[in-house]
Amino acid sequence: MHIIAHRGASGNYPENTLCAIEAALQANVDGIELDVQSCQDNYAIIHDTWLDRTTSGQGKVNTTSLETIQSYDAGMGEAVPSLQQVLSTISTRTIINLELKHTFELNKFVSCIERNISDGTLTRSQLLISSFDHHQLLWLKRQLPWVKIGALTASIPLQYAQFAQQLNAYSIHIDKNFINHEFVHDAKQRGLKVYVYTVDKQQDIEDMLHLGVDGIFSNYPCYAKMILARSMN
């Protein structure tokens, strides 16, 4: 079962920052999940539509320039990273799951990904793009047929994982409060990997292992790795 650091090692460090990423890399995680948004002139690694909760600034991300966003404190003196900064920080051995948030400028994003692949900063196999907006994923898959996409759901759809198969997704990412045996069975039959968010507690980690999921997103990846190692012995 893969352990993916949710917003970096965000339980102990400010979410979606370079120090949370560094801590996750130190813990030797399998992957790192980060939220990406279009800002006025670039891409910023931040979860909310508004700057207010996670930074010392105020206002909407999509109408603020990257320079202004990066002038704010995202916690412990860290700045909000740009997309390029995180792609350059994470080695090609680690899965990068970019979750596309809200309204998103897809054209420039595709160019950015292609540029980083061609200069060797990023590999195709380490990249996993997810979104709750399945239309975004459909569009992206048409532009980059090789890209692995993860279809996010916060519920159990009537046709289980059918929508993810229709999207030609690599994986389906589901809220831990909804997952059950039927859903995992259905997704596996369709050839999809199953990843579950957000799993922090020992009992939940063990339950996911018994359900046979392929990976979990955790705010405490170091702890999750320890529980997993203990359960395997």
CA 131/CA 163 separation, integer angstroms: 13
CA atoms within 13 A on the CB side of 85: 20
Spot the catalytic one: 47, 102, 134, 185: 47
Burial degree of 146 (CB within 10 A; 0-12, 13-18, 19+): exposed
Number of CB atoms found within 10 A of residue 167's CB: 19
* Helix or strand (DSSP H, E) at 100: strand 95-100
Least distance between Mg ion and beta carbon 47 (Å): 6
By a kind-dependent CB cut-off of 5 to 8 A, residue 176 interacts, out of ligand G3P, Mg ion, none, with none
Is residue 200 within the footprint of ligand G3P (CB under 6 A)? Answer: no
Among residues 223, 190, 192, 229, the alpha carbon closest in space to that of 209 is found at 229
Q: Which stretch binds Mg ion (CB under 5 A): 54-62, 95-103, 161-169, 206-214?
A: 95-103
Q: Indicate which single residue of 13, 109, 197, 223 sits in contact with ligand G3P (rule: CB under 6 A).
A: 197
Is residue 35 within the footprint of Mg ion (CB under 5 A)? Answer: yes
By a kind-dependent CB cut-off of 5 to 8 A, residue 130 interacts, out of Mg ion, ligand G3P, none, with ligand G3P
By a kind-dependent CB cut-off of 5 to 8 A, residue 217 interacts, out of Mg ion, ligand G3P, none, with ligand G3P
To the nearest 10°, report the CA torsion of 90, 92, 94, 97: 70
Count, in order, helices (H) and strands (E) of the chain: 9, 9
Whether residue 135 lies in the annotated active site: no
Touching ligand G3P, residues 73-132 (CB under 6 A): 99, 130
Binding site for Mg ion (CB under 5 A): 35, 99
Question: Which active-site residues does the annotation give?
Answer: 6, 47
Binding site for ligand G3P (CB under 6 A): 6, 33, 35, 47, 99, 130, 152, 173, 197, 217
